[in-house]
Amino acid sequence: MKRFAVIGLGKFGFHVARTLYEEGNEVVAVDMDQSRIQEIDPVCTEALVLDARDKDRMGSLGLDEMDAVVVSCGEDISTSVLVTLYLQEIGVKRILAKAVDEDHGKILKKVGATEVIHPEKSMAVKVAQGLSRPNILDFIPLAEDYTLLQIAPPRAFIGKSLKQLNLRAKYNVHVIAIEEVLADNIVLVPPAEFVIKDSDILIMLGKAQDIKRIKDLNSY
């Protein structure tokens, strides 16, 4: 199980927190608005009414031990910059900060954000690419309990062939493609002899709980 914190529970932050929790992670949600905390409380591990600009209280939450912290302070640029700076000073290893524009993103990077999120830009690019060069995967109808997911291979998979791993029999999942990141290449329907490298990305199809069993191997 991984541990995350989400600071700022607007629409973006709320959905990030809820999805992380539904994926089986421990999630601490933080916002100054009592009504937002009440709304998120059933779908997170801990919900706190807290001004994230209070560095001392933030420092007491153990955020430096989290796998990542997401900063989503809406349109309040100054608050998101200050909170990101505090997180960096606290020692948070991975900080994902939502930006409202490119300049905001540059500032967030300078004060400690390891990753900057541009939700509207990312969605716009995805829509445009879908119109320009549709991906067949976008049109595969999936049952509610099935999912299509990209994951990094667990350490136990590296150096082994798909035949050796026998994922279909052991986990009831299908590897429908493998992205070879270093070679900038995608292998569709990889052969059984394909040997997994640590730089590969596996694209799997299966029931959500079965794929989660494979993802959880990375925790060991």
Q: What's this model's pTM, rounded to 2 decimal places?
A: 0.63
Which three-class secondary structure state does DSSP give residue 91?
coil
Q: What mean pLDDT is predicted for residues 212-216?
A: 85
CB under 8 Å to 113, separation ≥6 — which residues? 71, 84, 88, 95, 96, 97
Residues in the chain: 220
In eight-state DSSP terms, residue 27 is: E
SS3 for 23? coil
Q: What element of type H or E holds 66?
A: none
Tell me: pLDDT of 162 over 90.
yes
Domain assignment present for residue 129? The answer is no
What would the pLDDT profile of 20-78 be if each residue is shown by its tens digit?
A: 998 889 999 999 999 999 999 999 999 999 999 999 999 999 999 999 999 998 788 99
**Residues 30 and 113 reside in one and the same domain:** yes
**Residue 130 resides in a domain:** no
pLDDT at 139 over 50: no
What is the average pLDDT value for the chain, to the nearest integer? 87
Distances (CA, A) of 86 to 37, 48, 58, 78, 191: 22, 18, 8, 12, 48
pLDDT number for residue 125: 66
pLDDT value at position 136? Answer: 47
- 7 in the same domain as 115: yes
The structural domain count of the chain equals 2
What is the Cα–Cα distance from 83 to 6, expressed in whole angstroms?
A: 12
Give the CATH number for residue 37. Answer: 3.40.50.720
**Residue that finishes a domain, picked among 59, 90, 123:** 123
Task: Find the domain containing 86 and state its range.
Answer: 3-123
As a whole number of angstroms, the distance between CA 178 and CA 188 comes to 7
Q: Which two tokens stand for residue 184?
A: 């900038």
The DSSP secondary structure of 158-210, one letter per residue, reads TT-BHHHH-HHHHHS-EEEEEEETTTTEEEES--TTPBP-TTEEEEEEEEHHH
Whether the per-residue pLDDT at 129 is higher than 70: the answer is no
Max avg pLDDT among 122-131, 146-155, 189-198: 189-198
> How high is the pLDDT of residue 216?
83
Which residue, 123, 158, 191, sits at the end of a domain?
123
pLDDT over 70 (residue 201): yes
Q: Tell me the pLDDT band of 126, cut-offs 50, 70 and 90.
A: low
**Residue 79 within a domain:** yes
Q: Could you tell me which residues are beta bridge partners of residue 117?
A: 98
Can you give the CATH number for the domain in which 169 is found? 3.30.70.1450
84 vs 138 pLDDT, higher one: 84
The residue from 71, 88, 123 where one domain ends is 123
